[in-house]
Chain A
Amino acid sequence: MKPKDIWTYAFSAIKLRKLRAGLTTLSVVIGIAAIVALLSITQGLQAAIATQLQKGFATDTLIVSAGGGIGVAESGFSLLVNDTETISQIENVTAALAIIQRVGYIRTTDGKARRVTIVGVDFEAYKAIYSSTFVAENGEIPSNPENTAVVVGKQVSEPWGNGTLFCSVGDTVEIIWTNTTARPLRNESYIGSVAAVLQEVGGFSIGGPSDTSIYIPITQAQAFFGTGKCEMIIVKLKNDDKATIESTAKTIRNAFGGQVAVTSATAVLNIISSVFSTIELFLAGIAAISLLVAGIGIMNIMIVSLMERTREIGILKALGMKNRTVLLIFLTEAAIMGLMGALIGVGTGWGLAELVVRIFSANGGFGGGFRQGGQTAAAGAVRITPLLTPTVLLGAIAFGLAVSLVFALYPAWRASRLKPVDALRYE
């Protein structure tokens, strides 16, 4: 029998049982749609976050903080601002920069206040490390700043995103923090002047500039907060080779007797991407289960169809149809349903992903924060676009087709093995 005739025959059998074939196809549609939607959303999210991270990260940096690192409670050890001198001596280190930060408020002359992270850094050195993100949109970041100079993040200047400004270049602002070491607690403040507003940085950053922070000179921070300690030291390396990163991190740890945690921006990126891979796999696994259910549905339908058509198979065999042609007809029927289901499923899944993203975006977007060495390192919402890679697209279609075929194999094989005389006698 010619392939075209096999196809026509299989199609005519499906057409005869439209509702049943439709429902079977629907189960494949649901399975494939779930896989495509989940994968395209996670991949889109991953891509969006990776982009944001790469912007906010300098891959050739290390972040040194006191204690055991991310999420670990502080030990008695404290990192000092002048520890940068020790670190600068270490091989492969081109610059070391201390960061002091506190949560506090910025208040304008008309009395409005906003909660911000106050970050004390050496402007010149910070600019050198984060040359793409510590950039002024308005005003100029002073190289040799006066103590009153303040650089504010984009969202501090324009928190509502509608052009209304909270503060801008040249404004006089009051910087306030609550001294929790003093008894009783007291608010400390000084008057500063906005020297620059940063460009928008975007979602995440670790150590690097953030949209919700304000920046003051490190010397002013030391005096204002009354401390010689710092929260972290950003270390710029000669290059971002893995070997350089690892050996330098080890040397720094040893220099402080193991009392510091050294995090590489690249390592954090890798951790995040591996976490995402795991999530992706997990979600795809769940979706695959629904496809498995669809496969069992196909098998069920094919077995019912086989019983209903036993006599027909007997006729075909009496007319000289070969076993493998009978097998092919049944597999073709499953393939038609599987392929249609997969194609519709990819479309539906894509639409679903768009819908979900839109709903989430309307509710404020995928945002969140995580802490690194005591710094809240996240800001605005990450805009995500569902990402349907060719791999996911073709993979989903192939998977839908494969599941249909695998589950049709047994009924098709049984059909092909029917003895003509028994099949013809079947009522």
Chain B
Amino acid sequence: MVVVETVNLRKVYLLGKVPVEALRGVNLKVEEGEFLSILGPSGSGKSTLLNLIGALDKPTDGKVLIDGVDVSTLNEDRLADLRRRIGFVFQFFNLIPRFTALENVELPMAIAGLGKAERRKRAIELLETVGLADRINHKPTELSGGEQQRVAIARALANNPRFLLMDEPTGNVDSKNADEIMRLVKRLNEEKGVTVIMVTHDQRLAKEADRTVHMLDGLIVNEVVNKP
């Protein structure tokens, strides 16, 4: 089953007064349970693509279909509802600094309207899954980069998302922690069947995915199925 599909996706930014074509017609399909990596140099449009798939931005032209639904037909409220079903993991973690790890993981569930007891229980489970059972009451400033990213992954999983969108998840952690995060992502994908779309410029990490698409200047130029 196709979870995410883009059809002739185009995005033009105005950089000052100069229009910049970030995406120039991207067609992509992601199957349920798949681990896809999007590889490309900076400026190739891979983050733009991820933002469009995540309904954080609107395309200039073309369509994004999530479970067959055209995202551009949704109003603000429906978009918010859709984002609750998407798990974001950012390069810079984007945790709320004044909240503890536990509270950060609880936040998307609170936004979705879950009760206190229920979300607390689930947040603890998720933090255990990412291996942070003993750090739940620490604030982001008291955690290492790798730990913060694992909190972010736990947060992304909170509302049982249809898929995870990861934008350079290891871009801001050291290589040891990067490997650990990749192992976690692979485990989630393989054991729990979580669909993952990951953007990276690191060839070595991209190869961990089932499939890699190469982007350059706003287009998909190559597609490789990685041998396990």
Q: Is the CB of B98 within 8 A of A318?
A: no
Instruction: Tell whether B57 is near chain A: CB-to-CB under 8 Å.
Output: yes
Q: Check if B172 is an interface residue, CB within 8 A of chain A.
A: no
A424 adjacent to B94 (CB under 8 Å): yes
Q: Is B77 an interface residue (CB 8 A)?
A: yes
Q: Which residues of A contact B96 (CB under 8 A)?
A: 312, 315
With the chains together, A419 CA to B76 CA distance in Å? 10
Considering the complex, which residues of chain A in the window 353-386 have a beta carbon less than 8 Å from any beta carbon of chain B? none
Given contacts A16-B98, A311-B94, A312-B96, contact A320 B110 (CB under 8 A): no
* B residues in contact with A78, CB < 8 Å: none
A13 to B96, CA, bound (A): 11
Would you call A320 and B159 a contact (CB within 8 A)? Answer: yes
> Which residues of B are found within 8 Å of A319, using beta-carbon distances?
83-84, 88, 107-108, 111, 155
Contact of A318 among B83, B85, B110, B159 (CB under 8 A): B83
Chain B residue contacts of A317, Cβ below 8 A: 56, 80, 83
Whether B84 lies near A421 (C-beta < 8 A) is no
Residue-wise, chain B 43-66 has the 8 Å CB interface mask toward A (1 for contact) of 000000001001011000000000
- Give the residues in chain A near B107, CB-CB below 8 Å: 316, 319
- Provide the residues of chain A in CB contact with B88, threshold 8 Å: 318-319
Q: When the two chains form the complex, which single residue of B90, B94, B108 contacts A320, counting CB atoms closer than 8 Å?
A: B108
Chain A contact residues: helix, strand, loop or mixed:
helix
Number of A-B residue pairs, CB cutoff 8 Å, is 64
- Supposing A318-B56, A320-B81, A323-B76 touch, asked if A12 and B111 sit within 8 A by C-beta, the answer is no
Interface positions, chain A 379-427, Cβ under 8 Å from B, are 419-421, 424
Interface hits, A1-27 → B, CB 8 Å: 1-2, 5, 9, 12-13, 15-16
List of B residues within 8 angstroms of A13 by Cβ: 98
- Tell me, yes or no, whether B28 is within 8 Å of chain A by CB: no
User: Does B112 lie at the interface of the complex (its beta carbon under 8 Å from any beta carbon of A)?
Assistant: yes
A322 within 8 A of B: yes
Nearest CB in chain B to that of A8: its residue: B110
User: A12 touches which one: B51, B54, B98 (CB < 8 A)?
Assistant: B98
Question: What B residues does A321 contact at CB under 8 A?
Answer: 80, 111
Residues of chain B within 8 A (CB-CB) of A88 are none
Contact B111 A1 (CB under 8 A): yes
For B51, B82, B96, the residue with the greatest tally of chain A CB atoms inside 10 Å of its CB is B96
Question: Is B228 interfacial (CB-CB < 8 Å)?
Answer: no
Interface size for B (C-beta < 8 A) is 27
Bits for B112-125, please: 1 = Cβ < 8 Å to A, else 0.
11010000000000
Instruction: Name the distance in Å between B45's Cβ and chain A's nearest Cβ.
Output: 14
Give chain A interface residues in 307-359, CB to chain B under 8 Å.
Answer: 311-312, 314-323, 325
Shortest CB distance A118–B (Å): 79
Whether A2 contacts B113 in the complex (CB less than 8 A), given A315-B94, A319-B107, comes out as yes
* Assembly CA distance A312 to B76 (angstroms): 18
Known: A421-B57, A424-B56, A424-B90. A320 touches B83 (CB 8 A): yes
Q: Which residues of B148-165 have CB atoms within 8 Å of chain A's CB atoms?
A: 155, 159
Do the beta carbons of A1 and B113 come within 8 Å of each other?
yes
In contact, B110 and A322 (Cβ under 8 angstroms): no
**Cβ contact within 8 Å between A318 and B77:** no
Please indicate the chain B residues that have their CB under 8 angstroms from the CB of A322 in the complex: 76-77, 80
Residues in B neighbouring A424, C-beta threshold 8 A: 56, 90, 94
CA distance A323 to B80 in the complex (A): 8
Cβ contacts under 8 Å, B56 to chain A: 317-318, 420-421, 424
Q: Which residues of B contact A9 (CB under 8 A)?
A: 110
Q: What chain A residues lie within 8 Å of B81 (beta carbons)?
A: 320
Cα separation A325 to B77 with both chains bound (whole Å): 10
**Can you list, as one digit per residue, whether each of B100-137 has a CB less than 8 Å from chain A (1) or not (0)?**
00000001101111010000000000000000000000
- Whole-angstrom distance between the Cβ of A9 and the nearest chain B Cβ: 8
Specify which chain B residues have a CB less than 8 angstroms from the CB of A316 in the assembled complex: 107, 111
Residues of A within 8 A of B98 (CB): 12-13, 15-16
Give A424 to B94 CA distance when docked, in angstroms.
9
Among candidates A16, A320, A421, residue contacting B80 with C-beta atoms closer than 8 Å: A320
Question: A12 — which chain B residues lie within 8 A by C-beta?
Answer: 98-99
Contacts of A5 in B (CB 8 A): 110
Q: Which chain B residues border A2 with CB–CB below 8 Å?
A: 110, 113, 115
Whole-angstrom distance between the alpha carbons of A311 and B94 in the complex? 8
Contact present for A318 and B54 (CB under 8 Å): yes
> What residues of chain A lie closer than 8 Å to B82, measured between beta carbons?
320
Q: In this complex, what residue of A is CB-closest to B165?
A: A318
**Smallest CB-CB separation from A318: which chain B residue?**
B88
- Measured in the bound complex, the distance between the Cα atoms of B56 and A314 in whole Å is 9
Distance in angstroms between the alpha carbons of A420 and B51 in the assembled complex: 9
CA distance A13 to B81 in the complex (A): 24
| Cβ contacts A to B, 29 pairs, < 8 Å | A1-B110, A2-B110, A2-B115, A9-B110, A12-B99, A13-B98, A15-B98, A16-B98, A312-B96, A315-B96, A318-B56, A318-B88, A318-B94, A319-B83, A319-B84, A319-B88, A319-B107, A320-B80, A320-B108, A320-B112, A321-B80, A321-B111, A323-B76, A323-B77, A419-B57, A420-B83, A421-B57, A424-B56, A424-B90
Additional A-B contacts beyond A320-B112, A322-B76 (18; CB < 8 A) = A1-B113, A2-B110, A2-B115, A9-B110, A12-B98, A15-B98, A311-B94, A312-B96, A318-B88, A318-B94, A319-B88, A319-B107, A319-B108, A319-B111, A320-B108, A323-B76, A421-B57, A424-B56
Q: Which residues in A have some Cβ–Cβ distance to B below 8 Å? A: 1-2, 5, 9, 12-13, 15-16, 311-312, 314-323, 325, 419-421, 424
In order of increasing CB-CB distance, the 3 nearest A-B pairs are A320-B84, A421-B57, A320-B83
